Amino acid sequence: MKESMIIIGGGVAGLTAAAMLANDGHQVTVLEQSREWGGCAGKFSRKKFLFPVGATLGMGFEEGGIHERIFNHLHIPMQELPVQKLEEVMNIHLPNKTITFHRDRNEHVESLVRAFPEHKQKIMRFYQKLYEIAAKVRALMVELPVLPPQTRNEWLGLLHSLNVSSLTLLPYFPKTVGHLLKKFDLLNTPFKHFIDGQLIDSMQVKSEQCACILGCLALDIYHEGAFYVEGGLYQVAHRLADHAKGNGGVLMLGRKAERMVRTGNKWTVTDHRGNDYRADHVISSLPVQVLPDLLSETDLRSLGYTLRKKTAEETWRTMTLYLTLKETDTIMNMPLFQQICTSESGEMSEGNHIFMSLSNGTDRVRAPEGYRTMTVSTHIDLSYWKAKEEYDKRKIFMQEKMIAAILSVYPDFKEAVEQVECGAPKAWERYTGRPGGMVGGFGQSRNNSLFFSLSHRTKLPNFWLCGDSIFPGAGTIGVSVGAYHVYSSITGKKLSQ
Ligand SMILES: Cc1cc2nc3c(=O)[nH]c(=O)nc-3n(C[C@H](O)[C@H](O)[C@H](O)COP(=O)(O)OP(=O)(O)OC[C@H]3O[C@@H](n4cnc5c(N)ncnc54)[C@H](O)[C@@H]3O)c2cc1C
């Protein structure tokens, strides 16, 4: 019998679950508190300009990638998605050197060897091992196993994914990427800063904390395909929302879920206007830190110790700048994606490491002819921002620091800047409903990842979780996998390979 579902949150996770469940004939209602679909991968507009809120670099659109597999499953034509595969994924600027991240693995290693000739052999051996581990992990992930396995079927699914070569991964489970760097004598080198810059953006931790198996996958993933999406990644959210609506889903913007009450196995969700929505299942795509506000005390206690403990754990915040730029020579010659690390000692937060995404010169969705838009982000730690006065000062300080980082690489940059808008943690909290503006899920350390990550299942009947706090974690590809696990657990159906 087809069932009813309430999905809280209209980001990529919630909309992936909505589209897949509606496609299967279930009665789907999505409540999204903001006025836009896409959440952290959404957009906002200012006059003729459009800005991606946070996520900009697309992955998973290649053949066999998770977005491609889900779109195929839903019969959404991939050709409709305006994506452009990047052969040069990004430029990474360390103090005194610039490295181009090439999609081709050989070219990539050559580029690193050119940047660090004194470590040539070590870097080559490091990547040989890293690519070997990543290939085995990718093979394991094809069937999208669930971690941590909670049911007989999930254990069977995991065992089914294993083969002889995956057993050779066992020694790497207790290791970090830092261990791998140490093995190749690369730990105390600027090359480590390059690796840390990649990891902090994708895994939210540096090499000394990052779980080796997932870290290798993250450091390899752009070689499978990294994409510029015309307009921005919100296009994915919009396609999924349209598909869910086309299959009878009721999708509502401007509806903040404030309370969830269980009567037996049925749920009632109440929004901020006092409207009640009843359903057989509830799927929350929000960070788990929201759960204490949504659930009754009894239900919160029933979630169990591990999940309850996580609801009190802090994650990174972000500070973002949204720039309107004139198309000067400097801008025309800039790569679309760049990282700048300004710290000699390899600090990766508070403006010492920034990620910049520029709109393509032909992208008329983001800016009119002669202009571009740019989103710049850095990780921040709220302990520096506690009091109101400190917060306002810190915001100005951080904006100046981020612009100074860009000027350190592009001294003429200021000539291009027409407007700067700032997205500090309070703005993130307001627009994405994330408590304290926490973003990116839990850092993928050994304590938070793989068998220690949070399952999409909860101990409450018919209450499911997806989003970047849940296995396998952040990024539009990570949250899509989590949403698929919810779909598959409810329906018993699988994605074709
Ligand atoms: C600055 C930044 C840069 C990033 N860059 C990239 C990148 O380049 N590539 C990439 O793949 N990933 C990137 N990411 C990560 C990626 O954006 C996220 O992991 C992913 O989009 C999270 O999706 P989600 O659906 O889990 O959560 P969200 O996107 O946060 O969606 C949750 C939705 O729920 C809504 N909501 C919240 N509370 C309520 C409520 N009570 N009731 C109803 N609705 C509610 C929110 O408004 C939001 O729309 C980036 C993230 C950030 C912050």
E strands, 77-221, are 83-85, 88-94, 97-102
**Phi-psi category of 292—alpha, beta or left, where left has phi over 0 and alpha has psi -120 to 50?**
alpha
Distance 138 CA to ligand 1 centre (A): 24
Q: Is the CB of 437 under 6 A from ligand 1?
A: no
Taking only the tens place, the pLDDT of each residue in 414-446 is 999 999 999 999 999 999 999 999 999 999 999
Q: Is the CB of 13 under 6 A from ligand 1?
A: yes
- The alpha carbon of 409 is separated from its chain's Cα centroid by a whole number of angstroms, namely 26
CA distance 137 to 177: 15
Are 206 and 199 contacting, i.e. CB atoms less than 8 angstroms apart? yes
Residue (of 375, 475, 353) closest to 419 by Cα position: 375
pLDDT category, 276, cuts 50, 70, 90?
very high
By most ligand atoms within 8 Å of CB, the mutation choice from 286, 338, 353, 480 for ligand 1 is 286
Q: Is the CB of 11 under 6 A from ligand 1?
A: yes
Are 144 and 481 contacting, i.e. CB atoms less than 8 angstroms apart? yes
Distance 39 CA to ligand 1 centre (A): 4
Q: What is the mean pLDDT of residues 180-188?
A: 97
Q: Which amino acid residue places its CA nearest to atom 33 of ligand 1? A: 9
Copy the structure tokens of residue 341.
């690390």
Write b or e for each residue in 438-475: b if 16 or more Cβ atoms lie within 10 A of its Cβ, otherwise e. bbbbbbbbbebbeebbbbbbbebebbbbbbbbbbbbbb
pLDDT category, 9, cuts 50, 70, 90?
very high
pLDDT value for 385: 85
pLDDT value for 462: 97
Q: Which amino acid residue places its CA nearest to atom 16 of ligand 1? A: 475
Residues 6+ apart with CB under 8 A from 369: none
Q: Which amino acid residue places its CA nearest to atom 36 of ligand 1? A: 9
Taking only the tens place, the pLDDT of each residue in 194-250 is 999 999 999 999 999 999 999 999 999 999 999 999 999 999 999 999 999 999 999
CA distance 435 to 469: 13
Distance 11 CA to ligand 1 centre (A): 6
| Strand 57-58 with 227-229, pairing | antiparallel
Distance 55 CA to ligand 1 centre (A): 8
pLDDT category, 352, cuts 50, 70, 90?
very high
Q: Is the CB of 7 under 6 A from ligand 1?
A: no
Ligand 1 atom nearest the C-alpha of 482 is: 26
Ligand 1 atom nearest the C-alpha of 357 is: 8
Residues 6+ apart with CB under 8 A from 214: 137, 203, 444, 449, 450, 472, 473
* Percent residues over pLDDT 70 in the chain: 100
**Does pLDDT of 366 surpass 80?**
yes
Q: Which amino acid residue places its CA nearest to atom 46 of ligand 1? A: 432
Are 473 and 442 contacting, i.e. CB atoms less than 8 angstroms apart? yes
pLDDT value for 105: 98
Strand partners of residue 8 = 31, 284
> Of 120-134, 168-182, 235-249, 372-386, which gets the smallest average pLDDT?
372-386
Question: Can you tell me whether residue 462 is helix, strand or coil?
Answer: coil
Q: What is the mean pLDDT of residues 1-8?
A: 93
pLDDT value for 265: 85
User: What's the pTM?
Assistant: 0.97
Q: Which amino acid residue places its CA nearest to atom 13 of ligand 1? A: 55
Query: Residue written as tokens 């921002």?
Result: 385
Helix (H) or strand (E) holding 51: strand 49-52
pLDDT value for 141: 92
Q: What is the mean pLDDT of residues 134-156?
A: 95
Q: Is the CB of 52 under 6 A from ligand 1?
A: no
pLDDT value for 60: 98
pLDDT value for 497: 64
pLDDT category, 470, cuts 50, 70, 90?
very high
Q: What is the mean pLDDT of residues 26-54?
A: 98
pLDDT value for 388: 82
Kindly give the interhelix angle for 212-224 and 120-141, rounded to the nearest 10 degrees.
90
**Does pLDDT of 496 surpass 80?**
no
Q: Which amino acid residue places its CA nearest to atom 5 of ligand 1? A: 55
**Does pLDDT of 450 surpass 80?**
yes
Distance 38 CA to ligand 1 centre (A): 7
- One-character DSSP codes across 387-425: SHHHHHHHHHHHHHHHHHHHHHH-TTGGGGEEEEEEE-H
Q: Is the CB of 469 under 6 A from ligand 1?
A: no
**Does pLDDT of 183 surpass 80?**
yes
Distance 414 CA to ligand 1 centre (A): 30
Strand partners of residue 57 = 228
Q: Is the CB of 479 under 6 A from ligand 1?
A: yes
pLDDT value for 80: 85
* Percent residues over pLDDT 90 in the chain: 94
Ligand 1 atom nearest the C-alpha of 294 is: 41
pLDDT category, 309, cuts 50, 70, 90?
very high
**Does pLDDT of 12 surpass 90?**
yes
Distance 283 CA to ligand 1 centre (A): 15
Q: Is the CB of 55 under 6 A from ligand 1?
A: yes
Q: Which amino acid residue places its CA nearest to atom 18 of ligand 1? A: 475
Q: Is the CB of 34 under 6 A from ligand 1?
A: yes
**Does pLDDT of 292 surpass 90?**
yes
pLDDT value for 333: 97
pLDDT value for 317: 95
Q: What is the mean pLDDT of residues 180-189?
A: 97
Q: Which amino acid residue places its CA nearest to atom 12 of ligand 1? A: 475
Q: Is the CB of 476 under 6 A from ligand 1?
A: yes
Taking only the tens place, the pLDDT of each residue in 148-164 is 999 999 999 999 998 88
Query: Residue written as tokens 């990842």?
Result: 449
Q: Which amino acid residue places its CA nearest to atom 37 of ligand 1? A: 433
Taking only the tens place, the pLDDT of each residue in 63-83 is 999 999 999 999 999 988 999
Q: Is the CB of 240 under 6 A from ligand 1?
A: no
